[in-house]
A and B are shown apart, each in its own frame.
Chain A
Amino acid sequence: MDNRKGRGRFIFFCLAPAVILFIIFLIIPTIDVFRMSLYKWGGYTDHKTFVGLQNFTKLFQSEKFYQTFQNSVLLIVVVSIVTFAFALLFASMLSREKLIGQNFFRIIFYIPNILSIVVISAIFSAIYDPNNGLLNAFLNLFRSASSDPILWLGDQKIVIYSLCGAMVWQAIGYYMVMYMASMANIPESLYESAELEGASRRHQFFAITIPLIWTNIRTTLTFFIISTINMSFLFVMAMTGGGPDGATEVFLSYMYKEAYTNSSYGYGMAIGVVVFLFSFALAAVLNAVTRREHLEY
């Protein structure tokens, strides 16, 4: 009995540091964001006015907010799906097929993940340059050089997809490595017996690989949401600044703009609250719809 009490005390003292840190640096700031969203405040004075839910009602009437919402959702959907497909494809190619220079490709694919976002943005700004960019120069091989250049970062209809391109390029390597790690755990015998029974490579992929790394896929889906929301801010800030004319404004860049540039800190926090709830809800929904019986091997 006494032994158990001591054990409990020991666990308590071991956990206490982490719990205290967690509360100070995570729980309290989060609560603070919620609290600040109810105030009108410029950010640098002691003068805060409590305005209740006014920030939220203004937010839901703002066309600009809906535009940023659309942009963010579009990015989340497109970037997640494309990255997911490519990462899975490359992962299975690199772990299942016998390729020359496998390790080399593994490294190459992972490199974008090590690069800083600012560097990637600079690279893609150069690729997308309308006059002497790589992309337009390549396209000019197939069309007359005198035709109008495509404005990858200047045309409101295209620019968000240009952003997608850079984000996908950046993210593939990371998810590829994650999928490869779990694919490596699948026993070789399953594939051998499938082969003996005449299953095609594609069949093997969908019937063995996917179901057996399903838990991993589910985890990465949540990662996709969080990282796209965060990364899109960095890319937008470094590449387009939200332009042209707000066409690439996303959740966080809009929040930043309102909180700092437009002196509406409270309103910015209200945007933060909406983003917080939205990403939580989205992750929960995805988690629920992807729930499958756990397969053991």
Chain B
Amino acid sequence: MKKLLSLALAATLTLSLAACGGNNSGSGSDSANAPAANNTEAASGSTRTLKVAALETAYGADVWQEIATAYEKVKPEVKIELTIDKNLEDVIGPGMKSGDFPDVIHLGVGQPKGLTETFVKDNNLTDLTEVLYMTVPGESATVREKLIPGFTDTTITNPYGEGNTYLMPMFYSPCGLFFNAGLFEEKGWTVPQTWDEMWALGDKAKAEGIALFSYPTTGYFDAFFYALLNEAGGPEFFTRAMNYTEGIWKTEEAAKAFDVVDKLANYTEKTVPANGNKDNFVKNQQLILDNKALFMPNGTWVVGEMSKAPRADGFKWGFTALPALTDGGDRYSYTFFEQIWVPAKAKNADLAKEFIAYLYSDEAASIFAKVGAVQPIKGMSDKLEGDNKLFYSVYDSGAKAAMGAFATTDPVEGVSISDTVFGTVDSLVTKSKTKDQWIEAITKASDSLRGALKK
């Protein structure tokens, strides 16, 4: 009897386990069926759910909540399900691996985890060219008419070079050098217009125990270096460099850019590489607020990021485009922008496109502008106030805008162009690598990526 009982117990144990497994697969297929069910519901006229995932940045998470509410008013038949997180990749990644994709993802290229790049490289995006010609809900203009020209002609938004737009430009920010304008007034220094003036200022500041340069992490060199390449060789040269043209890094123009970065490394505050990681980069930004370094490359978000940080007396944010290489030469400020896109396997791509078109409406733009998030919509920069007015007027005062990034390739194992080009700056500062080694490594990485370019 006892034996029978124990046998029965063991059997129940096994069975319950099997039942567990069964349950799991059951719920799995349920969730797979759910969107399909949603679709049929939509056909019959009830609400459809649009899954929107957005990275929480310096602009905060609430703004997306507000957008969702506003959109649900415009389109009552759509219900928006938001996923907002600072580690968005980790939150939506596992679901996507098992086939559950959000319909809209707001996450730019250039993030440390490179999720957007992975989708671009894998041709895993929905073509959004159509959105450009859609009328903004509630308005009469099309999206294309409202956008500032140029933003949808970049290698970022049109990654495959056939003219179609796959990623829509969202919040943009001019990047350049930030400094303490108060300190410059106090010392009677002028903001350098050329790199030669920059070096002269560097020597002057050094005598007072102030370093010329700081950078948060080497990742911030992307905007800096792109603008510098534009200054050195113009937009056409820049495009060739971004497409890994053979021999491009050995040209005279490239040499000019390398020289500037190499020289700048000598003028960089010595402790910067030690804090140049995602936990301590704020200390490198603090150097500017404490008058320990003069300039840092950054974007307009830094003002919000450092808003609670202590600062030197009379501190005032100053912002300038990169100094010119020659007297009277072109000055550039890189335009950083975030992107919003639709995965190829999104279940509600049609709804997603309408939603994205709505994001360019005056209503949505003003909601975003409240938290300082500025979209590339004509006339937006005129409505800005305070620090932002100064930052966004950089292009009005003579600086040219640079846009684009290294062209998309098929994944090449073990080769990362951004690590090679930007990451090495740490080593230039600590002097563990020379400029020639740097150029050699870039050439090698560039050579191996050329063959993998998206055709």
Contacts and interface: CB of A to CB of B under 8 A. Distances in A.
Contacts of A151: 270-271, 273-274, 430
Interface residues of A, number: 55
Given A42-B411, A246-B423, A261 B271 contact: no
B131 to A, nearest CB: 22
A131 B271 contact: yes
Given A154-B276, A263-B117, A44 B3 contact: no
Contacts of A62: 413-414
B118 A43 contact: yes
A17 interface: yes
Contact of A245 (B122, B271, B279, B426): B426
A130 to B, nearest CB: 4
Contact of B118 (A17, A122, A244, A263): A263
A260 interface: yes
Interface stretch (B6-14, B152-160, B163-171, B192-200): B6-14
Interface string B268-285: 001111111111100100
B124 interface: yes
A262 interface: yes
B414 A42 contact: no
A128 interface: yes
A245 B113 contact: no
A148 B270 contact: yes
Nearest to A128: B274
A228 interface: no
Contact of B13 (A13, A128, A241, A266): A13
A155 B414 contact: no
Given A13-B14, A44-B97, A154-B430, A260 B114 contact: yes
Interface in B387-446: 411-416, 419, 423-427, 430, 432-433
B96 interface: yes
A256 B21 CA distance: 30
A263 B114 contact: yes
A112 B167 CA distance: 46
B114 A267 contact: no
Interface in A18-43: 20-21, 24, 40, 42-43
B427 A245 contact: yes
Contacts of A153: 274-275, 277, 280
Contacts of A42: 118, 121-122, 124, 411
A16 B124 CA distance: 42
A174 interface: no
B243 interface: no
Given A121-B279, A154-B276, A263-B118, A45 B124 contact: yes
21 contacts: A6-B3, A10-B6, A10-B7, A16-B10, A20-B17, A44-B119, A44-B343, A58-B413, A59-B413, A129-B274, A149-B271, A151-B270, A153-B280, A154-B273, A156-B430, A157-B432, A243-B277, A245-B424, A260-B118, A263-B114, A266-B413
Interface of B: 3, 6-7, 10-11, 13-14, 17, 21, 89, 96-97, 112-115, 117-119, 121-124, 217-218, 270-280, 283, 343, 411-416, 419, 423-427, 430, 432-433
Given A129-B274, A151-B271, 6 more contacts: A10-B7, A17-B14, A24-B21, A128-B274, A260-B115, A261-B117
The 4 A-B residue pairs whose C-beta atoms are closest, nearest first, are A154-B274, A13-B10, A244-B426, A267-B413
